[in-house]
Structure 1
């Protein structure tokens, strides 16, 4: 059965009344009961303390009869049950038992209120008393009297709480019945008033739905029905606004497309371009919008046209090609799966940098394989020669053993450098720049390489301001300086000169290691910091280089927000430099 407006209003009114009255009644009853029980508990605590004070005033030789008389008197005056027990559970006084103290039974100490009094100094419990036939609230506290440890328990019936709860329930039911009667009356009155307005709205809305133009609903009130009438009147105007908003949304869509770094091309079922963004035109080298043309008409890239021809219905497909123009790029085109009635979308990604990095990775793997294969081959060949009889010839055996040791050391250094480089590039090596003096680090590196330089009769000169400080990681700076100096000693001829200097350039610190060795040709200088790059591969291997030292230097410097580079020294030689962030001040006298 369908309910009309009147029926719905009546039903809602009844539901609201019950939804409000029932929880409110339950809440009020619980709140009132809790308040009354709390008040009774406070009274019982006060009564128990009064009993305790009275017991303390008894003479030291008072017997059980005196205690029982006191319990009877106080219980009668308070209107409560007063029980006095020893700490062993023996009842020595009770205001409700018509027995002499000698006839009192032992009370169980497991009762909740007695356990609380003994353990916590205060106990409370609510339970039904078979003796009194009523729900009782008990409060117990410990006390001392006549040289004995006692427990005082005071109890009162909760009948008053039950009576008030019953009265409250009756009041709530009466109020609910009255509210129900009022709901019937008010729903009938309000529904009659609303029905006429609703009927008018229905008639006018149906007329508008048939296509009548210029028809408006008269706003008859300022309430929700009046708002509904205004909404209906605004419907025609809203249609025009929606058309304008659709145009705005299209403009926003085009703005988002043109703001993307990826190229986007949409094609309809006739294979003609409907949408193209600026990134796609840039990647494809287009200067005129290709909208309305086919892909093959717009760009002479067979791979792209073929991608659309072989478009699958179940999954996206992709193809890579090189764009044309003055700056060719490697482009990956991905086309969406074919769906009936929906334009196909081609997304163009510039993967030039990604492919370049992949090439670098492949070259790196190949170089690592080559660099590892050389010392391993020498070690294997030398060992094989020793096995075949060279060990019987001391001179030849010594030569092969030295080759094994030398290449094993080189292999160990190569692996160590590879691990260092991998750790640095992966960000697993902690680089923590801090304010530090430069001069001690420079002297430390020079002293570490001094013996190696002395073997070649080389002179190391240090020129560094003792007060110069920089933002650097101490361990990383030590590794960079040692690598620079080690290379300088390796490639500088005997009797050569190596100079280490440091200076402040604006807010940066420049550290330089210069030598008068053979130098580095200009065509090699931009690549010396690449992995495994050698100016003279044969000579570098003979000197024990792994080809990774300068790559490690570059990564460490960049991790400290620094820069590295190389410059020629006239008339011959090389200068490797490091630029680090300076500090805001200088350390006075620190070296």
Structure 2
């Protein structure tokens, strides 16, 4: 380590004093014979000893005084230099002392101010880096950044998960080496070549599913207009694509379901106006068909309005203590006419009075929809079994029929709007295709679940699980 300024100054001062005092001694020694040419040799020796002693003492005193003077000015500079070196090495907590007059100077104040400013800048930079890292990692989109040479220098976890990549393995690789889909590579090529923003939608086909990604590529331009690279953002739009498909299917289904009864009503009305009303029997038959289609249209509109109301933000349930026996009795009364028409009977298994917190009107609606479904898809003289079981904090309701059954492949889509296993039979039975969608929504609004099991030719069982107490 290099010696400090103070040590160097003391050494230089000592050498200078030594030279000066030695020269002074030599000069004084030359003058001695002029004043005492015949002086005794012993006295001369004493004189030389005295002269040397005086010069040595003068040297030491002068050196001490000079050292003390230099200590006030040079030693603080040495310490400030050490502090400056520590600051230059990144130790922004280092500070010079301010507890002495020799340290209370503009240089010490300036060094401390520089250290304080650098510390603040370091903290701000650390905070900004943490914020950027948090933002990059927490954003819902995949992020990939390339330098001017086309190599990866930034990637977040979402992109790793989307494409099955590892951050450690792809850092420093070019975009053509990391295994991106060809469409994405082409987009990156276009951004590099044109230095313009490019967007594209990419379909990613997996083993069990298909995902859709919106890819946005843009050049990264520095503060002074210099080219730094490009950034690629990939946002998963699979849900949006599926929702758009659901919306299109819904519009198509509603249009179809509305058009069918309207077409029938219009056709039979035109036939009556063209002369068929002259025949009372034909007119009665046609009016009956018109009434049936009008009822079906009315039921469809009611179900659409009901489902729309349930899915709105303002939809609430009127909770109260509900006896499940009352719910089932009310539902059976509502479908009693349909049961009589098909000569069907019901079996209920309810052990005592089982009560829950729920909306009795909505629960009756659920039971009516499920019972109507069971009646419509069963032949005459069949039996519907309804059972309620107490399962600690929850209850289980089962509605089993002896109907035609449902294929296992059809079960996952059974609760979709307008989905019908047998469209012709559903339409003949007067169903709207919304009943089970309403059931699912109302049960989930009660914080419950609904499942279905079915076997072709044997029948179908719907299972509902509901909590006894609701969390408000």
Q: TM-score, normalised by structure 2?
A: 0.70
Root-mean-square deviation (CA), in Å? Answer: 3.8
SS at match of 2:296: helix
Residue of structure 2 in register with 1:106 after alignment:
none
In structure 2, the partner of 1:468 is 354
User: After the TM superposition, which residues 57-456 of structure 1 pair with which residues of structure 2 at under 5 Å, given as runs?
Assistant: 219-221=98-100, 229=108, 232-233=111-112, 235=114, 250=129, 253-254=132-133, 256-287=135-166, 289-311=169-191, 317-323=198-204, 326=207, 328-336=210-218, 339=221, 340-341=225-226, 342-456=228-342
Q: How far is the alpha carbon of 1:262 from its aligned partner?
A: 1.9
CA-CA distance at 1:217 after TM superposition: 6.2
The DSSP-based 3-state class of the residue aligned with 1:524 is helix
Report the CA distance between 1:526 and its aligned residue: 2.3
Q: Give the Å deviation of 1:568.
A: 3.1
- In the TM superposition, what whole-angstrom CA distance separates every residue of 1:91-144 from its partner, at most 9, and x where no partner exists? xxxxxxxxxxxxxxxxxxxxxxxxxxxxxxxxxxxxxxxxxxxxxxxxxxxxxx
Contact kept? 2:443, 2:449, Cα under 8 Å: yes
Secondary structure at the aligned position of 1:295 is classed as coil
Alignment equivalent of 1:541, drawn from 414, 427, 439: 427
Q: How many equivalent residue pairs?
A: 380
Q: Indicate conservation of the 8 Å contact 1:317/1:337, yes or no.
A: no
Distance 2:97 2:422 in 1: 96
* 1:516–1:569 contact (8 Å) kept in structure 2: no
Distance 1:498 1:229, change over 3 A: same
1:429 positional shift: 2.8
Conserved? CA contact 1:333–1:346, under 8 Å: yes
Contact 1:295–1:304, Cα closer than 8 Å, also in 2: no
Q: 1:337 to 1:385 in 2, by over 3 A?
A: farther
What's the counterpart of residue 387 of structure 2?
501
Question: Are the aligned partners of 1:469 and 1:583 in contact in 2 as well (CA < 8 Å)?
Answer: no
8 A contact 2:406–2:456 mirrored in 1: no
Report Cα offsets for 1:205-248 as digits up to 9, x if no partner: xx98xx999999662559x9689936725846986997799679
Deviation of 1:441 (Å): 1.1
Partner in structure 1 of residue 53 of structure 2: none
SS at match of 2:430: coil
SS at match of 1:442: helix
TM-score of the two chains, using structure 1 as the length reference: 0.57
CA contact (8 A) 1:514 1:569 kept: no
Q: CA deviation at 1:366?
A: 1.0
Specify whether residues 379 and 214 from structure 1 end up closer, same or farther in structure 2 by C-alpha distance, changes over 3 A only.
closer
- Which one of the candidate residues 337, 360, 374 is aligned to 1:488? 374
Shift of 1:402: 2.0
Whether contact under 8 Å (1:318, 1:333) holds in the other structure is: yes
| More moved, 431-440 vs 536-545 | 431-440
